[in-house]
Amino acid sequence: VLVKRLLDCGAQTLIFPMVSTAEQARCAVAATRYPPNGIRGVMTTARCNNYAIDAAQLAEYYRCAADHLCVLVQVESVDAINEVPRIAQVPGVDGVFIGPSDLAASMGYLGDVAHPDVQ
């Protein structure tokens, strides 16, 4: 629901934290896509689609909305780091960020992102 609200307000780039698997990445992408390519709810009177002032413009918006989105995921654990090759292959994932603080904590180095094992 939060993803839909952010997109309906006009956000075009979202970063999803704590993504550990390709399946979680697929769910993140699905939340940003209208059916049949995803599960994003449809609202005709929203800022993102110019409040449906023009029917043709609305149809065009729904057709190409995904083309204007940037979906980023953040991996923040050792297990997630090991899954990066699969996560990065998920269609619709535009980038993968590493969350160094949570990664360090998951490795037993809470607060020490500069530890050589974390680097």
Sequence spans of domains, the chain: 2-106
pLDDT per position as a tens digit, 94-115: 999 999 999 999 999 999 999 9
Spatial CA neighbour of 98 closest among 5, 12, 4, 19 = 19
51 has pLDDT over 70: no
Fold of 2-106: TIM Barrel (3.20.20)
Q: Residues 82-102: what's their mean pLDDT? A: 97
Rounded to an integer, what distance in angstroms lies between the CA atom of residue 82 and that of residue 105?
16
Report the alpha-carbon distance of residue 75 to residue 97 in Å, rounded: 6
The tens digit of pLDDT for each residue in 5-45 reads 999 888 999 999 999 999 999 999 999 998 999 998 887 77
> pTM for the complete prediction?
0.87
